[in-house]
């Protein structure tokens, strides 16, 4: 099953337009399965609710999650990751949390490519990106997208 998820993830990398064809929940399920297959890191995914989203918003959330998982795998030394996707009437919220080594957020270099890309992707869709971390206690990345008006555009 992990190999199949990895293959799907690779296809999405090669054909980004494919991302728009799936719901965000489905995209995150596939991404999670592929990440588990690659890293053997236990990742739990919780999804609450569902609403249609524009392709731009889905792709931004997918890519931010992808980068967060990459950073966790590369830097965190975590043995547990939780992803929560919450559809609420006024917003969509994504929370990626690990129990890794954490870091001082003041030490993020201004030219940090990964964090910079996540911030750009969030800003492009009008979302807020919050990074909280504490040494020895892991990291939480939260994306909050104000969705009240936009839900109705894609119903």
Q: Considering the entire predicted model, what is its pTM?
A: 0.84
User: Which of the four pLDDT bands, split at 50, 70 and 90, describes residue 4?
Assistant: low
Question: 37, 91, 93, 92: which is closest to 69 by C-alpha?
Answer: 37
Specify the pLDDT at position 150.
54
Q: Locate the domains of the chain by residue range.
A: 42-154
User: What mean pLDDT is reported for the chain?
Assistant: 84
The answer to whether residues 18 and 55 touch, using CB atoms and an 8 Å cutoff, is no
Q: How far apart are CA 99 and CA 23, in angstroms?
A: 28
The yes-or-no verdict on residue 38 having pLDDT over 90 is no
Q: Is 137 helix (H, G, I), strand (E, B) or coil?
A: coil
Q: Phi first, then psi: what are they for 4, rounded to 5°?
A: -65, -45
Q: CA 86, CA 104: separation in Å to the nearest integer?
A: 27
Q: Tell me phi and psi for residue 50, to 5 degrees.
A: -170, 140
Contact predicate 56/154, CB 8 Å? no
Q: Give 95 or 148, the one with higher predicted confidence.
A: 95
CATH class of 42-154: alpha beta
pLDDT at 60: 93
pLDDT, tens digit (0-9, with 9 covering 90-100), for 61-94: 999 999 999 889 888 888 999 999 999 888 999 9
């Amino acid at each position: 099953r992990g190999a199949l998820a990895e293959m799907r993830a690779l296809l999405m990398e090669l054909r980004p337009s494919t991302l728009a064809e799936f719901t965000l929940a489905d995209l995150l399920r596939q991404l999670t399965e592929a990440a588990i297959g690659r890293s053997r890191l236990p990742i739990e995914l919780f999804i609450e609710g569902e609403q249609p989203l524009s392709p731009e918003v889905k792709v931004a959330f997918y890519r931010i999650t992808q980068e967060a998982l990459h950073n966790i795998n590369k830097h965190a030394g975590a043995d547990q990751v939780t992803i929560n996707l919450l559809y609420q009437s006024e917003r969509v919220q994504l929370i990626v949390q690990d129990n890794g080594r954490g870091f001082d957020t003041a030490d993020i270099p201004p030219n940090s490519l990964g964090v910079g890309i996540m911030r750009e992707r969030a800003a492009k869709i009008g979302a807020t990106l919050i990074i909280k971390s504490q040494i020895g206690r892991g990291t939480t990345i939260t994306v909050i997208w104000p969705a009240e008006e936009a839900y109705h555009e894609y119903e």
